[in-house]
Amino acid sequence: MRIARARPERFGGIVEVESPRALLHVDRQMMRELGYPESPLWQLPPEGPLSAPREVHVVLSRRCAAGCRGCYVDATPDGAALPFEDACRILDELAAMGVFHVALGGGEALELDYLFAVAAHARRVGITPNLTTSGLGLDAKAAEECRVFGQINVSVDGVGAAYAAARGFDGFRHAERALRLLRAVKREVGVNCVVSRSSFPRVPEVARLVHKLRLNELELLRFKPVGRGARLDEELTPAQCRELWPMARRLVWRERIRVKLDCSFAPMVFWHRPSAKAAAFFGVQGCVGGDVLAAVQPEGAFTGCSFTPRPAADARIPGAMAEAWRSGFSEFRDYAAHAPEPCASCEYLRLCNGGCRAVGTPDPGCPRVQEHRSRRPLPVVAG
Amino acid sequence: MKLFRRGRVLQATFGCNPNSSSLGVDVTFLLFGAAFASAVAVVLGAWLRREPR
């Protein structure tokens, strides 16, 4: 285990270690034991937002030839892109703020001829670049260049015909080929699978693919009604919301693979009442927009997460991101303090933070919210 | 006499997140519960102290 870098926080600090690759939150005493100097942040109460995001999703473009029917960034073949110079300057600022990881995506980031140059720049300034791609057009040479990334996930929303049904075009063979090419050059290759109402029953087939190709993770992402997805009726049913956590557990045991769920699934996990202590330790959280996570859009908007349209600043203006981080994002950060029922009385509120802002507040996919709403008395209508 | 309290690991997230949404739940680790989390915290703390920056 080697400490790559660290930054102080109110509670102590965040330490990035390599092999195993991990981000560790440690207390003030541990920071002292590791030789870090006293921080002015340690004069503040330990609770409060992070001094900077831990990870930032940089949406490099809204450009993609695939035309997936549920694309959340509404990508088109000639969509907007963040210019190379802007991307590098933004990475410089994020590095100065202390950001550890960036997730590069789009659109299809591989369609940009400067993707690898952006990733190399991230490495130079001390940020680990990660990538999500459809894998379309990836050849052996590009796969070799992908060594620059930390984790690379290929989007596979179904196997065979289920892929075409989910995405609206037949790209499964391309995605599988991309996975094999990437796995031949690096270990940190996984699958992203968007779980929607119609794809839910076929998720186990994707898990089997992850096992078969010896990939390091399966990440299940919740379908969100954003971008072109807003025109689809694909949000999970209440029964599927309850079944998600048991299904994820079964996939771990049956396929012997690592399964992760994105932050928007947290309410559906907490409804099953897992150990709150274990959840806190392993960073199981709901909405972390404007705290752990931030996003930069291709047009320069600095937002709390990729799915929220409200910009806190223009990331292209020098210093604007750091300034916005100090004072903005109250819609994310203040939720727990003013949460309505049924969130207010939920023991997981501090971890869950009301669920995903992209689908509603409080999260309508949360089984607890669904139960609360079903119990509310109907209004009396005068006859 | 003032007792010396050793530093602690408060939270651990493994791997990198390549997604547009943040990593919310690592199912594999959460399955093992609170006792496992405590053990991991102790082991990671010991490892951290051993390693030079």
What is the average pLDDT value for chain A, to the nearest integer?
Answer: 95
Instruction: Categorize the per-residue pLDDT at A79 as very low, low, confident or very high, splitting at 50, 70 and 90.
Output: very high
A265 interfaces chain B, CB cutoff of 8 Å: yes
**A165 & A24 share domain:** no
Asked, for residue A48, whether it belongs to a domain, the answer is: no
Give CA–CA dist A311/A309, Å, rounded.
6
Residue A107 resides in a domain:
yes
Put simply, the answer to whether A286 touches B24 (Cβ < 8 Å) is yes
> Taking 60 as the threshold, does the pLDDT of residue A312 lie above it?
yes
Q: Compute the average pLDDT of residues A347-360.
A: 94
Radius of gyration of chain A (CA): 21
Instruction: Identify whether A254 is part of a domain.
Output: yes
Average pLDDT for residues A360-375, to the nearest whole number? 93
Q: What pLDDT is attached to residue B1?
A: 60
Res A20: pLDDT: 87
Q: Is position A161 within any domain?
A: yes
Query: Is the CB of residue A211 less than 8 Å away from at least one CB of chain B?
Result: no
Q: Which positions in chain A touch B34 (Cβ < 8 Å)?
A: 275, 277-278, 281
CA-based nearest residue to A292, from A50, A66, A36: A50
C-alpha to C-alpha distance for A230 and A233, rounded to whole angstroms: 8
Rounded to 5°, the CA angle B42-B48-B52 comes to 160
Query: Is a pLDDT exceeding 60 seen at residue A383?
Result: no
Q: Which of B2, B8, B22 to mutate to test the interface with A (most CBs of A within 10 A)?
A: B22
Q: Do both A39 and A61 map to the same domain?
A: no
Considering the domain architecture, whether residues A229 and A109 belong to the same structural domain is answered as yes
Single-letter residue type at A347: E
Residue A346 domain flag: no
A158 and A275 part of one domain: yes
Give the global pTM.
0.94
Same domain, A26 and A134: no
Residue A173 token pair:
């063979």
- Residue A350 inside a domain? The answer is no
Of the three residues A331, A361, A377, the one that is the final residue of a domain is: A331
Do A175 and A33 share a structural domain?
no
Contact at CB, A1 and B19, closer than 8 angstroms: no
Domain boundary among A331, A357, A373: A331
Looking at residue A219, its pLDDT comes to 96
**Do residues A39 and A63 both lie within one domain?**
no
Please state, in angstroms and rounded to a whole number, the distance separating the CA atoms of residues A181 and A248: 27
| Contact check, Cβ <8 Å, A188/B16 | yes
Residue-wise pLDDT for A19-60, tens only, equals 889 999 999 999 999 999 999 999 999 999 999 999 999 999
Element (DSSP H or E) covering residue A371: helix A367-375
Contact A277 B16 (CB under 8 A): no
Test A284 with B24 for CB contact under 8 angstroms: yes
Nearest to A217 among B15, B36, B49 (CB): B15
Chain B contact present for A7, CB below 8 A: no
Asked if B37 lies within 8 A of A286 by C-beta distance, the reply is: no
B29 confidence band (pLDDT: 50, 70, 90): confident
**Could you tell me if A39 and A75 lie in one domain?**
no
Supply the CATH number for residue A278's domain. 3.20.20.70
Cα(A373)–Cα(A175) distance, rounded to whole angstroms?
41
Confidence tier at A171 by pLDDT (50, 70, 90):
very high
| Domains contained in chain A, number | 2
A275 and B13 within 8 Å at the Cβ level: the answer is no
Co-location of A31 and A116 in the same domain: no
Tokens representing residue A217 in the block: 């993770």
Q: Is residue A222 domain-shared with residue A317, that is, in the same domain?
A: yes
**Do A83 and A225 share a structural domain?**
yes
**Location of structure tokens 């330990």:** A46
Tell me what pLDDT residue A19 has.
83
- Whether A174 and A132 map to the same domain: the answer is yes
* pLDDT tens digits for range A213-269: 999 999 999 999 999 999 999 999 999 999 999 999 999 999 999 999 999 999 999
A107-154 pLDDT, tens digit per residue, is 999 999 999 999 999 999 999 999 999 999 899 999 999 999 999 999
User: What domain range includes position A37?
Assistant: 2-43
